[in-house]
Every structure is written in C-alpha cells, then in structure tokens.
Amino acid sequence: MNEYLTTEELVKALRLQASRPQYKEVVKQKKVSNKKIKKVGRIIYWVVLGLLVLYTIYAIIPMVVKDRAVNLLGKSTMLVIPNDQELDQELNSDVIHIKKFSFDDIQEGDRIIIYGKFGTDLYWMEEVVDIDTVNRTLDTTFGYFIRNTYQEDEIIAAFDHHANLLSTIVYVATTPRGFASLLFIEALILSVIYYYFVREPKEKK
C-alpha cells in the first residue's frame, strides 16, 4: 500500500528542498569570505613585520655606532645638557635633534655638541662665539660666561632643533631599556595579528 503525503507534508518537503541549496550557498560564501579575510590578514602581517624589522634596525644603529651614528645617518637624536643654564644650578638635560658637523658650514651663534665636559660621560651643548678658520678651532660658551676652545675633531655634532614628544619616544626606543620595551611591544602586535587574522581555525583551541 502506497503512502501518500498530505498537502501540508508536501509543502513542508518542498520548502525544505528549496532551503537546502540556499544553505549550501551561504556556507560557500562564508568560506570564501573567510579565505579573503585570511589572505588580507597575511598581507597585513607581513607588511607590519617588515616595517617593524626596519624600525628595529633603525633603533639598533644609534646604540652600537659611536656618537649615536650621526656621521652615518646624517641626523640623529641625543640627550644633551643645553647651554642656556648656569653651572652653579641644577642642570637639566633635553632630547634634541643633531646633524653631522661641518666646520665649513658653521657660523657664529650656531650650537655644537661636545662630549665629556668636567669629566662626565654626558653630551653638552655650547654656542659658537668665534671661528678660527686658520687653526680650524671654535670658541664656544656655556651659560654665556665660560669660554672654551675646541679643535675640529673634538666636536661631536651640530645642533639641529629640539625634539617633540614623538621624537622623544623614538629616542627612548634607541636606549637599552627602551629597546627591550620596543621588542616586547612588537612581539605583542605581531601575536595579536597572527592570532586573529593569520592562523587557521583548526589551530585554535
């Protein structure tokens, strides 16, 4: 004896058959979308990795090259003691931008960077007040009272301009402690990008 479907059962069966292709299409579209997200995520991951590697190399150079690599890079940042202070008062240091020193380009009123005044391991800024082109020496002042004479090869760099907040942060990244923090932040950024955009779902627990 054949069993016949009622009208209601037939309608339900037709609806179920009609919904199955749509469901498969939705699943297919979802898979395609996930693949696109993964592809974009991988691109972002490698771009960020490349940028961080370049920045890490840039941060290493001032730490391993003499006088913060100003002669190698042409410009750099440095922590110095500015010359507009009195020696009998508490001295403050400041982060500044420096540029490669050129005796032929220096003028009176320019400021230069000297290392190790008064037996310290610090960098000092002084203002040029006289230039001897014959002997290749500069007369400078610190605090507008003390006058010093320096040979050309004693001058580390020339003052360019004071650093802003962003430049100060960049300078901190080129110090040992700052560099360690930089590596930690870089590792955190790459881990987050990899976790959410790169690795396959089967790898997730």
**Residue 150: CATH number of its domain:** 2.10.109
Supply the DSSP symbol for 175.
S
55 and 92 both lie in a single domain = no
138 and 189 both lie in a single domain = no
Number of domains into which the chain is organized:
2
129 and 193 both lie in a single domain = no
Q: Model confidence over 101-121: pLDDT tens digits?
A: 999 999 999 999 999 988 899
30 and 119 both lie in a single domain = no
72 and 151 both lie in a single domain = yes
Burial of 127-150, coded b for 16+ CB within 10 Å and e otherwise, reads: bbeeeeeeeebbbbebbeeeeeeb
Give residue for tokens 């960049």. 170
Range of the domain at 28: 7-62+180-200
Q: Model confidence over 39-86: pLDDT tens digits?
A: 887 888 889 899 999 999 988 998 888 888 898 889 999 999 998 887
Tell me the two tokens of residue 133: 């082109």
* pTM tops 0.75, yes or no: no
* Residue 151 reports pLDDT greater than 80: yes
